[in-house]
Amino acid sequence: MSNIEDFFKIISKKINYKIPKDHINLIKNRINGITQDSEELNKYKIHNMDYPPKINNNE
């Protein structure tokens, strides 16, 4: 289980909210999409924030 799923479980328990059964797969797919997008974005590095960002994928 991912950290994001753990986070949402903790939050939903704290606010006493139960996700409807028919929404669980939708939410899991959404979390997987967010995780995959962030992993993809981590491949890129942004250098020197004084100028417009240059994306360099070679480093």
Residue 14: other Cβ atoms inside 10 A: 8
User: Do the domain assignments include residue 22?
Assistant: yes
pLDDT confidence of 19, banded at 50, 70, 90?
Answer: confident
State which residues form the domain around 23. Answer: 18-44
Mean pLDDT of 23-38: 84
What does the mean pLDDT of the chain come to? 74
Q: Is 37 a domain residue?
A: yes
Higher pLDDT, 55 or 20: 20
Q: Which residues contact 49 (CB under 8 A, 6 or more apart)?
A: none
For residue 25, being part of any structural domain is answered with yes
Q: Is residue 31 part of a domain?
A: yes
Region 19-37 average pLDDT: 83
**Mean pLDDT on 20-30:** 83
